[in-house]
Each structure stands twice: as C-alpha cells, then as structure tokens.
Structure 1
Amino acid sequence: MRVVAGVITLLLMLLVSCDEPSGKKVVNNIEEEVAFDLDEIHKRGRLIVVTDYNSTNYFIYKGTPMGYQLELLNEFCNNLGVKLEVIVSNDVEKNINDLRSGKIDLIAQNLAVTRERGRKIQFTEPHTYSRQVLVQRIEDKDQEKARTGFNDLIRNQLDLAGKTIYVQKGSSYVTRLNNLSDEIGDSINVVEIPDYEAEQLIGLVAEGEISYTICDEILARVNKNYYENIDIETPISFPQKMAWGVRKSSKDLLQVINNWLIRFTKSAKYNIIYKKYFLNRRSTHIVDAGYNSLKGGLVSEFDDIIKKESENIDWDWKLIAALIYQESRFLPEIKSWAGAQGLMQLMPATAQKFGVNNITSPQENIRGGIKFIKWLDKRMALRVDNPEERLKFVLASYNVGLGHVLDAMRLAEKNGKDPKVWEGNVDYYLLNKSQPKYFNDPVVEFGYCRGKEPYLYVNEILERYEHYKNLME
C-alpha cells in the first residue's frame, strides 16, 4: 500500500490539471485559490467573515448580538474602516474551501494552528492559546470520589485505548486523536459527527448520551460553568496557538490583521473582552434558557406577540424584533424625553391614530407600530419600487418622520443622485441635513434635521437583523 501511495503522490506532484469547471488549476490535488486582497476589500467596502456559533464566539442574548469573535471583528473592522458581514458555519473544512474560492475573506474562529491546515491557508498571529482536553461525565455516585481524585475518570492518555470518542467532523481534534492513537500504540475509535459543534457534544456528554468528546480548554472551562457534572482536567495535547485564517494570496490583509492583533491583544480593551467571555463567572447568566439563541432560541419575552402581529405585514418578524430592540430594548414601560412610549416608542398622537388604547400594552403597542409601518410603506411605495431599498426609507421615516426623508430624496435628485437608492445617495443628504446649505435649500420643506440619528438607526437595525437571521433560524 505504501508503494502504491508513493506512486500516486509522485504522479500528483508531476501533473497539473485544468479540468475543473471553474478553470482553476489543481496542483497536488489542491484547487488554486482566487486572488483577492486588501485593496479589493476596501473597494467593496465590507469584510466578509465566517465564524462559528457557540456560547463564546457568536450568539444573541436578550436581543443583543454578542461573542468573543464578534467583538474582535467589530474592533478590527472599525480599525480597517469597512463594514462587517458575518456568515455562520461550524464546518471548518467548508469554511476553508469557501475562503479559498473567494466566498469569504477571513475565517474568524478558534482555529488550531496545524501543519495540515497550513498547506491550504495562512494563519494570523494567535489571538489566544489553548490545549485540547478530554470531556467526560462525572456520575452522581462518584461525585465525592471525583473531588478526592480517586475515581474511574480517565487521567492517563493510555487509558483511551479502545474508547469511543465523538468529535466535530473535520476538526483538529480528529487529527490529534489519530496521532495520539499512534503514540499510545493502540486504537481509539474516533467518530466524526457532522453538523455538530464542540459545545453541542459537550452537552451530550453531560446528558449521558455519549461518553467522551474533545474540545479546546478555554471552551471547556466556560461550559464547566453550565454543566457541573463534566470533568475537563485531562489534557490530550500541548498548548496550541488559536488564530484566524486568510487566503495565501491575501498577503496585505494578513499583514494588516497581524499588526492589529499584536497591538490589540496587548490592550486593556482586549483583556476586558477576554475576561468577559472566558474568565468571568458572572457572565454565565447569559446562557439563561429564556433569552439566549443557543438555549431557548428567543430574542425576547415578546417573541410570540411579535410573530403573531408580523403576520399583518410583509416583514420578517426578526426585522420587527430588531426595530423594537433599537427603540426600547424590549422594555414596555419605557418613555422617551419626547414622549414616545412602549416597545415601539409610539407618540401619543400616532398611537391614537392607529387605534392603540393602552400604549404600554405590548400587544397593542406592537400592533399599532406595525400599522404605522404599513402606512409609511404604502406612501413610500409610490416613490421607491424596489422593496429592499424601500425598507431603508421606511425605517428612516419611522425614526425621523416621512417629511425629512422626502426632503433628503429631493436633495439627492437636485444634486444628481438617485432619489430611489438609499446608500450613498439619499442617506448622505439625510445625514447632512443639519448643515445650513442643505436645510436652507429651496427644495427642503421640513427644515433642520439632526440626521445622524436616523442614519445610524437604519444601519444598526439592518446590521442587527442580519445577526438575528444568522442565529435565530
């Protein structure tokens, strides 16, 4: 077999194939990656990133997108001056393929730096360090023994011989266990589970569905706070670098990320982020079963009402939820300085117009807010045909009033911009409507407007909506 394998390897090294449908060359059985670097990312205006979905990297708690990786990415994109677009995938091999094909620009996960992966991608400077540990269940009858160290828990890697260990498919845990099997001179039955993330497998161990899994120690220690009946004290690897991954052709992007990571990981802000997700036990309340996307799958306690009332409008309920979070943080009794009240912050006159009798009633307030949105959408549909574009105009109108948005559209048209396109056209004039040269323009009917608020309002709702779509499906 080794002779045959050697011949095949030699042939692959000598042959270069161009038979792929995409026309990309294949060398050593690895498809040639696209060339797309920092200049192209700046021209596009956004960085497309894939990360994984778990209780440390990326999740939603009480309507707020959170996570160690998300916070690092937001800091980096602010430094880079581009928008962040997040894609969710826990399939490492798929993420590497998507990176090389140009579907994404960066893999932002706790990627263990390995030689095998290094053949396909470039690793950034490490953002943290960890080692792989065995996760096993402490049986109730062994609690006292576990505390004293005299129990049947595996402490010696030699005792893994013949054991069945379940791990995430395509993960570095598979490689480590195969190497460990060689090191101990005996077989370890490794079962790769597709579509399961390491944290889900930890849950299965805690519930007694499986006996063993492997994960990074930093993630294991976080989950130890949630599952008291797991043991994570048996290491199976040396400390490893945890890094992000970029294309080999993205040399400029790699350099910028590395320079930023070296500076940022030494900062007080990074220490706050790291402690928040990995060290602070008080942060474990974020896995509250009610309002965490990982557990209860809820954005808020009003999800059922939002879903029901959203049936009356052609909007995704998660978009309505993103708007409500922006307006009130899901606090039904809240009242603004201007007099707006309730979950959707209706002014009393607006509430009366749309049949809201009890403005602090969650159901009535949401129902009235949705009627108001429909009213705005109907009027804006006379001017903006594209539903995706019209959505932005309606959101801005909900925040600042229809009149100011119409003023911005007239300013855009007067200055040679497309009045039916929001980004880079109408949003610019609404943002700058606080300047005398714009609010004193003859086409303006509603005067001065503090345009920064509606400008950010639209961007923040749409950004939050993308997070909700990523994590609440």
Structure 2
Amino acid sequence: MSWSCTWATKFRVAALAMLILGMTWQPMDAARLERDMVVVRVIVPAHERAEARLSPYGPGYEQELLAAFLDFTGREAAYRFMDDPNQALLALENGEADLAVGFSFALGQRRGPNNIDSPVQAGPVYATYTPAVIARGEEPDQEQGGNGWFTREPDAVACTDPALTESLSQGVGWENQFVQACQAMDLASALDGVEGEEFALAVVDEDGFRLWQPFYQELHVEAQGEEEVALRWFWRGDREILALQLDTFWADQEVQELAQELDERYFGFLPSEPNISELEHILATMTTEVDQYADVIAREAANNGMDPLLITAVIYRESRFRADARSHTGVRGLMQLTSSTASMLGVSDRLDPEQSIQGGSAYLRMIWDELEEFGLDPWERWCFTLAGYNQGPGNLRRAIRLAQNAGGEGKTWNELRQAYLRMNSGCRGREAVRFVDSVRYYYYILHGLVVLSRPEAQHLAALVQD
C-alpha cells in the first residue's frame, strides 16, 4: 500500500490542530526528545492470532500494521514479547514500554486504561472476535443450546487470555477462584494440551482456532462467548509526539482500509463452518495420491516460477486428484482444462495427468504475466490469477473494470470480490469467489502441514525440496 502523503505532512497538520485547540507540549530534555522522535518500545504478542509461521500470505496481521506505522512515522521499534494483555498494560503503566500492539479486552469489561489517573490511552477498535471454548471429542448436541453443556467446572483449563475466561465464566457459572487458576499460554500450546488431555478445555479466540483446526481435527468449538472481544493498540499518552503520531495514524482512512485488507488476507478464506469430512479427505489425499504426481508438479512449478504447494492446492480444488475427472461444463482432467484452453497450450490429451499439470501450470503463469500491467501487490495478483483461471482472463478484466467503475482502483481482492458478485452472471461470479477462497484455504493447509512437520508432510517432501 502507498500513502497519499508523507507522515511528516500529516504530523504537521496534526500539530497545527493542537495549537488551534490550545494544546501545548510539555517540556522535555534533549535525550528524551531524541528518543521520543525515533525509537518506540513496543510490546507485541509472542504469538499472533494469524501466526506468521503458519501463513503463506505474509509476516502476520499485527506485524504488517506495525510496519505501516513505522513507515508512516520513520520510527524504529525496540520489541518486547508477551502474551498476557494484563502484563502488557502493567508494563505500559510502569513506563517499561511506550506501545502495546494487538492485545484484546472484552468490550463490556471494566478493565484496561479506564482509570483517569492512568497514563495509558486506548486506540480505536480495529477488529473484533468471539471467544470460544475448545474441547476434544464429539461435538455437543446443538439442540441443547446455550451454555448448558457445562454442568460442572472442568478440572483444568488452558486460556490464551485470562480476560476471555473471566468473560465466559459468567455464562457457565464458574467461580472466580477457578477462573484465576486457569493457565495462560499461547494458542498452539493450549490446543496441544487439550488434544493430549492435559486440559479439559481451552478458552481461545475462535478465528485463531479456525486457523489451527485443520491440524487439530479431534478438537471442536464447544461453546461461544456472548461478548465480543476488541483488538486495539494501547500507548502512553505522556509520550506526546508518539501519542500525536498514533492519533494521526489511526485517523487516516488508508489505515482503516489497510486493516480491512489484512483481515481479509489472513482470515477471509476461512469457512464459516469447517467441514471435518473435507479436512480428513484433504489429509488422506495428500497421503495416497500426491506421491505419483509429485515430480511433475515440482518440475512444472520450477518451469513456471510458482510454489508447488499452490499448484497442488489448485489440483485438489479442481479434481480432488482424480485424473479422469469430468464436468458437465466440458472441462477435463486433474486441472480441469477446457478444450479451447488445452488447444491453446498444446495439450492433446486433457486426461493425461502429466499434460494436464503441464498445461494448467502454464495457464496460471500466463494469466499472472498478463496482470503485469496493473501493478498489483504480489498477494493480490495471485488472487486475481486464480479468479482468471476459474472464469477466464476475459471475465477477469471485466471484473477489474467493474471495480474501477465503482470508484476503486481495481487492485485488491476485496474490490474484485465485490465486482464478481455484481456481474450479470452472478452465479459464475460467486463461483469465482468460492474458487479463490477454497484454493487459499487448501494452500494454507498444505503450507501448515509442512511447517508443522505433520505426518502427511512426508508426502509433500518432493514438492518443497530446495
């Protein structure tokens, strides 16, 4: 993303506004002034909701937001990592840090920097999520409804945020003494503990759990909290220059748009209700089918400068790795090529696995190359490429024009998604959106299997060798 004007210009405008409003700077010594202008001491979660090691889509939601702020101000960051938001706020109040990024508090709680004497200020809410109780085994009978599943306090509970547990406890009748005894830890450790039966339950961010659920299929959402949790940044108001910059940053419309784009990038592909049978099928397919095609996929990925796991995800979405797959629309083979596309690419037999992979990979690369003129961010460009693969380059360009005619630049997947949904052939437009989101989801899962060294990853080894 590019800023419409420099941070210095915006800072001068904000400073002028302070003078107009009669606000004044507090005197500072030279050393403090120099530090206040350059270095910001930042507390960040040790484990993000969209953990960077799992995601192939970027360094992480909070990392990208923070990088935008540092670019916006020309500052440098000195980092400190912790997961407990209470400890983060305490560190801010004690002057051990200047800014805490990506921490949450239930919107209705009387917690956080609400004390008039506290030097800590809360930024605007830029995202919300729902706390959830995670359990092992069979999912509860939904007809029971509500929180009636909890007839007694479990023996041991893991939680990623003590505030979430306290909020949920009111609905299930847990005592405060029990809540205080909950063991705080990062999300992966909490899920490991429930899977290994070290803990009966875990209280976590539901969206965060959805990102991990493909790798913990024995776990499920047992219950959801009734109170949303808000993500904000917190900072010390007595760091006057920093506070002014943060106020200016969050008031910028481009920052609001960036937050929406990042939410879409890191969470937008998640299904609202995960299909456990499908997740099981993905893992089984990686175990039984990929080996026979791995060399061809790796070769064509190298020939076309693409990630072999992405090609694998497209094949799974198109044919579930059935070489003889046929559709009523006339497409055929592993990568479901039309007869006209196959002819253009020199594919004589669409049902031949090697030819199908060769042709489908070349087609993806062709669409990618045709998008060069639009100057797209690489991640957005891949979403556009996948949409073009599904609906054809002609419909892709039509959707870009629709997005531009609606007042946008036609350069983000968010814009293109809405354009596809507005196209006259609405069903086909919705199919393009479903296709892109499905491939993103499968690609994310395959990447996670490799990163986490899950058993299925050994069958992907030939694809990801250096």
* TM-score bracket for this pair, using the shorter chain length: 0.3 to 0.5
Larger radius of gyration: 1
Q: Which has the higher helix share?
A: 2
TM-score normalised to structure 1 length: 0.45
TM-score normalised to structure 2 length: 0.45
